[in-house]
């Protein structure tokens, strides 16, 4: 059977170390096709490369080749009746998240498209994706009833609290004092323990405390900051969806823009789309010095994938005021209330467009969550 279900080979994924499999993934994406292997179990890196780009099938045999479409890469979900058998089914098949053309006019023929990640059902944010990927893999080796936890700026904590319960785990989330109220309250509503450290200026400052609690026993640290399942969730999900939606929507995709926390989603989006077309630009936003924008950080504060992988990107700096200004611009042009990190990414793209750095074409901005969570923040700045 030349096209086998890749789900029959996933046990080999855990044996793959490092990022070398990504060169294979890049090659398959660039060629748009994958060759056969006689025994996938002897090629765990190849299995992982196909899994991470979203293949559902793996070609088994000699001397054959299959297109991405034949491998199931284009099967990005969809439930026409929107009837789901469970909350996890809602997360999985209630995809892809929308990609919508904004009416906001940017200079230089830059056409703006918004990838609305608040359509993820648990945290109404992009962070559902790594939470489901991390917990579903963990459930293969961690006994039910265990306590899982991590440091979070808010969204991942909500997603982890929700998904942990669905898999039979308890959750504990650690937040910096400056986190928004929704990030401190909603995990409790979901039955999680919440630890707030008023002294911690950011999530990464909480990691020593989380690791100490993990070492002293009793806590499984899921570690969104260094767990490759974060990056891989976005390769198979966010990135693949943008690739397929752009193709099917007839976009002339010239660039992507987004923000950085763990750097999981924008590393995946940039890597995937630049593997397909090396000419795709990646405009990444970071808060201006001394600025604080919920959920995102400056690259120098420490991130894994954006620093480890071969990704070509430019950085733009944005203040919180500029991020909220962009929220208002999108709200008034599209009627959509995007979150501040999405606003920051729109502003970053607009700056690059204004500086004449972008060629005409379609640009996708990943909008990690909704602005409905940030009323107190916005109120002070409107
Ligand atoms: C609203 C919003 N926008 C963008 C990001 C960045 O996503 P990432 O780079 O894929 O982690 C995030 C990421 N938040 C993560 C990580 O936060 P961090 O900025 O690393 O402290 C969390 O919820 O714990 C976010 O919540």
**Other residues' Cβ atoms within 10 Å of the Cβ of residue 218:** 11
pLDDT band at 1 (very low <50, low <70, confident <90, very high): low
Contact between residue 120 and residue 129 where contact means Cβ atoms under 8 Å apart = yes
CA of 125 to the centre of ligand 1 (A): 9
Contact between residue 148 and residue 220 where contact means Cβ atoms under 8 Å apart = yes
Tokens representing 16 are 């793959």
- The β-bridge relationship of strands 65-67 and 33-35 is antiparallel
Ligand 1 in contact with 203 (CB < 6 A)? yes
In the chain, pLDDT over 70 holds for what percent of residues?
100
Instruction: Lowest mean pLDDT of 11-15, 197-201, 260-264, name the range.
Output: 11-15
**326: nearest Cα among 309, 345, 313, 308:** 345
300-343 pLDDT, tens digit each: 999 999 999 999 999 999 999 999 999 999 999 999 999 999 99
- Nearest-angstrom CA–CA distance, 369 and 376: 16
Q: Which residues contact 340 (CB under 8 A, 6 or more apart)?
A: 293, 294, 295, 320, 323, 324, 327, 371, 374, 377, 378
Tokens representing 183 are 């990030």
Ligand 1 in contact with 368 (CB < 6 A)? yes
> How far from 336 is each of 238, 326, 380, CA to CA, in Å?
20, 11, 20
Length of the chain: 382
268-290 pLDDT, tens digit each: 999 999 999 999 999 999 999 99
Ligand 1 in contact with 155 (CB < 6 A)? yes
Q: Which residues contact 282 (CB under 8 A, 6 or more apart)?
A: 255, 256, 257, 266, 269, 270, 273, 274, 311, 312, 313, 314
* Over residues 156-165, mean pLDDT: 98
For the CA of 159, the closest atom of ligand 1 is: 23
Contact between residue 338 and residue 114 where contact means Cβ atoms under 8 Å apart = yes
Task: Spell out the domains of the chain, with CATH numbers in brackets.
Answer: 3-67 (3.90.1530.20), 87-122+231-380 (3.40.50.1100), 127-229 (3.40.50.1100)
Residues 100-116 as b or e (16 or more Cβ within 10 Å = b): eebebebeeebbbbbbb
- Nearest-angstrom CA–CA distance, 318 and 49: 35
Mutate to test the pocket of ligand 1, among 260, 295, 341 (most ligand atoms within 8 A of CB): 295
pLDDT given at position 111? 98
Q: Which residues contact 335 (CB under 8 A, 6 or more apart)?
A: none
Ligand 1 in contact with 48 (CB < 6 A)? no
- Nearest-angstrom CA–CA distance, 375 and 355: 31
Q: What is the pLDDT of the chain when averaged over all its residues?
A: 96
> How far from 22 is each of 49, 214, 235, CA to CA, in Å?
6, 30, 11
Predicted model pTM = 0.97
* Over residues 195-205, mean pLDDT: 95
ipTM of the complex: 0.99
Does the pLDDT of residue 14 top 90, yes or no? no
240-264 pLDDT, tens digit each: 999 999 999 999 999 999 999 999 9
50-109 pLDDT, tens digit each: 999 999 999 999 999 999 999 999 999 889 999 999 999 999 999 999 999 999 999 999
Ligand 1 in contact with 237 (CB < 6 A)? no
pLDDT band at 2 (very low <50, low <70, confident <90, very high): confident
pLDDT band at 353 (very low <50, low <70, confident <90, very high): very high
Residue with tokens 């974060």: 230
- Nearest-angstrom CA–CA distance, 157 and 103: 33
Q: Where are the beta strands (DSSP E) in the chain?
A: 3-5, 33-35, 57-59, 65-67, 99-101, 110-116, 147-151, 170-176, 193-197, 220-221, 253-259, 281-287, 314-318, 361-367
**Other residues' Cβ atoms within 10 Å of the Cβ of residue 48:** 25
CA of 196 to the centre of ligand 1 (A): 17
CA of 370 to the centre of ligand 1 (A): 13
pLDDT given at position 382? 85
175-192 pLDDT, tens digit each: 999 999 999 999 999 999
Q: Across-strand partners of 37?
A: 60
Q: Which residues contact 12 (CB under 8 A, 6 or more apart)?
A: 40, 41, 44, 47, 48
Tokens representing 129 are 């994706």
Task: For residue 96, say if its preceding peptide bond is cis, omega within 30 degrees of 0.
Answer: yes
């Amino acid at each position: 059977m030349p096209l086998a279900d890749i789900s029959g080979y996933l046990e080999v994924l855990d044996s793959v170390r490092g990022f070398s499999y990504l060169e294979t993934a890049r090659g398959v994406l660039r060629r748009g096709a994958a060759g056969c292997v006689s025994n996938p179990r002897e090629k765990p890196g190849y299995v992982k490369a196909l899994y991470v780009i979203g293949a559902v099938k793996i070609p088994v045999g000699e001397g054959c080749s299959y297109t991405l479409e034949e491998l199931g890469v284009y099967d990005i979900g969809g439930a026409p009746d929107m009837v789901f058998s469970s909350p996890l089914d809602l997360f999985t098949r209630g995809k892809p998240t929308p990609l919508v053309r904004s009416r906001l006019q940017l200079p230089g023929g830059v056409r703006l498209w918004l990838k609305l990640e608040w359509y993820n059902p648990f945290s109404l944010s992009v962070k559902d994706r790594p939470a489901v990927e991390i917990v579903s893999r963990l459930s293969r080796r961690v006994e039910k009833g265990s306590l899982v936890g991590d440091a979070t700026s808010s969204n991942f904590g909500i997603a982890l609290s929700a998904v942990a319960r669905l898999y039979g785990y308890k959750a504990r989330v650690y937040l910096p004092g400056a986190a928004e109220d929704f990030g401190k309250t909603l995990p409790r509503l979901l039955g999680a323990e919440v630890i707030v450290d008023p002294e911690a200026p950011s999530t990464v400052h909480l990691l020593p405390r989380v690791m100490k609690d993990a070492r002293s026993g009793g806590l499984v640290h899921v570690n969104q900051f260094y767990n490759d399942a974060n990056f891989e969730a976005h390769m198979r999900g966010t990135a693949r969806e943008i690739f397929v939606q752009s193709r099917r929507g007839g976009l002339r995709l010239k660039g992507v823009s987004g923000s950085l926390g763990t750097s999981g989603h924008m590393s995946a989006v940039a890597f995937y789309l630049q593997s397909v077309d090396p000419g795709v630009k990646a405009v990444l936003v970071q808060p201006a010095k001394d600025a604080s924008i919920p959920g995102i950080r400056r690259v120098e504060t420490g991130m894994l994938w954006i620093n480890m992988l071969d990704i070509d990107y430019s950085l733009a700096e944005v203040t919180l005021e500029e991020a909220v200004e962009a929220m208002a611009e999108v709200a008034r042009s599209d009627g959509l209330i995007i979150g501040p990190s999405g606003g920051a990414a729109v502003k970053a793209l607009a700056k690059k467009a204004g500086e004449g750095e972008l060629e005409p074409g379609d640009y996708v901005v990943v909008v990690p969550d909704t602005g409905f969570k940030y009323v107190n923040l916005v109120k002070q700045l409107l």
